[in-house]
Structure 1
Amino acid sequence: MFAVMYLDLSKDPFEHRPQGDTPVWTVVIPFFNERDYLAHTIESLSRQTVRFTLILIDNGSTDGGAAVAEAAARAHALDYMLLTERTPGKVAALRTGLAWVRTRWVATCDADTLYPPQYLAAAQAILSRPGHVVAGAYFVPDGISEPARVTEAARFLAAARLLPRQCHAGGAGQAFCTRALRAAGGFDAVRWNFVLEDHEVIHRVMRKGRMGYSSAMWCMPSPRERDRDSIRWTLVERLLYSAAAPIAGDWFFYRFLAGRLQRRRLLSSRIRERQYQHLEGPVLVPSHSLR
């Protein structure tokens, strides 16, 4: 178990493991002031039917969330790392987490989302199909009935079949072949430091192979209220994405959408939940010693 302030890629953080005992999955969770949700999210992940390594990235929290996350990971005897990323924004935090991934597959999860026990197994079944490099989950509300979930799965899968070259899953429900994700450039704030990073990264990864879905891969985001500017794209942007994704994705993201998001100041760091947390520049955080 580790807590890391600065990345040192000359060292293998998993060198303590016995040979042949390495999981094939890593779960990456970036978080910022989400202490009220982290323990429940980690508890849900602890019930997974496949082994995984957990990488937690504190993106400058001021609410003690890092201690809550670490306590939850220890309580459930998870193999985990706790990293601190000083640069504000989800893209920067995901980039830091990906640098430490040593497994075949990696899932990006949100700190305020619950995952059923078969979540990683369902993602693995998708990624094991020939040519598939990314898997996506559909979202359902907490407490949904089984018939309602089946109906939502059917609706979601129908949309994915109708528009196979665009992303239908948010960042809380995406899983990747690690090699393909890195080959596509990973999470890169220089290339894309805006909101909707979950769609932009899928655009690049799908150059390496297919994205798949299944009725068994779903998750439950928190219904919490959010005090923030809208981070959604407009109807025109969404419709143009549907049309351009199969044939002109680069133009859509880097020449059309990026300029519009820049004018609306929808940077990755602005996903932060409260107005006073819309930070720019360095975030000062307590240092952690390497254990």
Structure 2
Amino acid sequence: MFIDLDWLRSRSDRSLEVAPEWTILIPFFNERRLLPATIASIARQSEKLRLVLIDNGSTDGSAHVARIACASFDIDPIIVTEPSPGKVAALSAGLRLVHTRFVATCDADTIYPPHYLAAAGRILRRAGHVAGGAYVVHRGSSKTHQRLKANKIAAAARLLPRQSHCGGAGQTFRTAALRAAGGFDPERWNYVLEDHEIIHRLLAHGTIGYSPDLWCMPSTRPRERESIRWTLVERIIYSIAAPIAGNWFFYRFLAARLRGRNLMSDRMRERAFHQLEGPPSAAPSQPIFAKPAPARVVLRRPGASSRPSDLIVVARGGETGRLRPASASDIARARGLRSRI
């Protein structure tokens, strides 16, 4: 693990300020396009915070972009390079630098409303609460749809209180409780679904709370994560076993199945859309806050033929992605892009 210690230069000045209650951990891998928007949303938080950015081996200049974005918002981050691949290893490296009462894990491609930490803090200050979970709001969602999502997660939490109903992009913790539960530990759990496993351990120390005000907005780009999700059978067994046999479920049943499918933590980094982010570079080729020019790239599904039905076209402008079947003209155009297929 390597740490950028530039932040120490102004430490004496910051020591005179009121210490923040929050640290935000953002692990990232090749996220130079979307990371600035996430940092911008963090800069607008109503609560004082410390920001820890964990570069998990990026090759596209993401750390350089992060420094520029933080400087533009007058944020003084701690930047960590964690060479061991995988989100669990990255979060473990970040947690070692947390010295605040509360800690939040955030994704590098997700937007957080200005009241995000304030809403989470209200949950974590409740007696017996050790974690707070956010639900997902998609761009353009109506207030009615947002209320329905909030009601849905609240109902699920009442029905199944001994399991997680949120993802790692929207989890907040009491730091002392998180450490008491063992924290993020690749020696204990180095598979996908680490957001559910950590809540399983944490619930031995208290409860997790939700609120209509606690939400986040992920990027609209294609996720392509079907291959790293758990199966319906695993979900059903989780719902049944979590209250009475959680240790058996995670460490004997689920771990063996994920290992058999090679779903280790570093599989979270294998995403086809990284082909859209451009070649490795020390810095972006255009201003990071400028809207990228629209681009069209044809991607072949793994193992597919060159038939139009086996191709998809990604028409991208800004930070959004739109998928549609490839047409004959798209296939013709793709002949000039074979190096990216």
1:215 is the counterpart of 2:218: no
1:140-179 residue pairs with structure 2 within 5 A? 140-179=137-176
Q: Which moved more, 1:146-155 or 1:113-122?
A: 146-155
Deviation of the 1:7 alpha carbon: 9.3
What's the counterpart of residue 73 of structure 1?
Answer: 70
What's the counterpart of residue 289 of structure 1?
Answer: none
Provide the rounded CA distance (Å) in 1 between the counterparts of 2:225 and 2:208.
31
Deviations 1:30-75 (A, max 9, x none): 0000111100111111111111011000000001111111111111
1:108 is the counterpart of 2:105: yes
More helix by share: 2
- Shift in CA distance, 33/206, structure 1 to aligned 2, threshold 3 Å: same
Deviations 1:2-41 (A, max 9, x none): xx82599xxx999532245210000000000011110011
Deviation of the 1:231 alpha carbon: 1.0
Contact residue 222 and residue 273 of structure 2 kept, 8 A: no
1:202 is the counterpart of 2:199: yes
Aligned counterpart for 2:42 among listed residues 41, 45, 64: 45
Describe the SS at the equivalent of 2:233. helix
1:99 is the counterpart of 2:67: no
Provide the rounded CA distance (Å) in 2 between the counterparts of 1:6 and 1:155.
41
Provide the rounded CA distance (Å) in 2 between the counterparts of 1:173 and 1:14.
30
Contact residue 133 and residue 209 of structure 1 kept, 8 A: yes
Q: Which moved more, 1:97-106 or 1:148-157?
A: 148-157
Contact residue 32 and residue 65 of structure 2 kept, 8 A: yes
1:185 is the counterpart of 2:182: yes
Deviation of the 1:116 alpha carbon: 0.6
Q: Which moved more, 1:147-156 or 1:250-259?
A: 147-156
Gaps of 5+ in 2: 275-281, 283-341
- Shift in CA distance, 228/207, structure 1 to aligned 2, threshold 3 Å: closer
- Identical positions, percent: 58
Contact residue 133 and residue 171 of structure 2 kept, 8 A: yes
1:122-137 residue pairs with structure 2 within 5 A? 122-137=119-134
- Shift in CA distance, 13/211, structure 1 to aligned 2, threshold 3 Å: farther
The CA RMSD over aligned residues, in Å, is 2.2
Provide the rounded CA distance (Å) in 2 between the counterparts of 1:131 and 1:98.
22
Q: Which of structures 1 and 2 has the larger relative contact order (alpha carbons within 8 angstroms, sep 6+)? A: 1
Q: Which moved more, 1:76-85 or 1:262-271?
A: 76-85
Deviations 1:85-109 (A, max 9, x none): 0100000000000000010000000
Code of the residue aligned with 2:105 in structure 1: it is T
Deviation of the 1:176 alpha carbon: 0.3
Deviations 1:106-141 (A, max 9, x none): 000000001011100000000000010000000111
Contact residue 228 and residue 275 of structure 1 kept, 8 A: no
Provide the rounded CA distance (Å) in 1 between the counterparts of 2:160 and 2:84.
35
Q: State TM-score, norm by structure 1.
A: 0.89
Provide the rounded CA distance (Å) in 2 between the counterparts of 1:215 and 1:189.
32
What's the counterpart of residue 242 of structure 2?
Answer: 245
Deviation of the 1:255 alpha carbon: 0.4
Deviation of the 1:199 alpha carbon: 0.4
What's the counterpart of residue 261 of structure 1?
Answer: 258
Work out which of the two has the higher radius of gyration on C-alpha atoms and give 1 or 2.
2
Deviation of the 1:273 alpha carbon: 3.2
Deviations 1:142-183 (A, max 9, x none): 121112111111111111111111100100000000000011
Provide the rounded CA distance (Å) in 1 between the counterparts of 2:109 and 2:273.
20
Describe the SS at the equivalent of 1:36. coil
Q: State TM-score, norm by structure 2.
A: 0.76
Provide the rounded CA distance (Å) in 2 between the counterparts of 1:274 and 1:80.
27
Provide the rounded CA distance (Å) in 2 between the counterparts of 1:275 and 1:265.
18
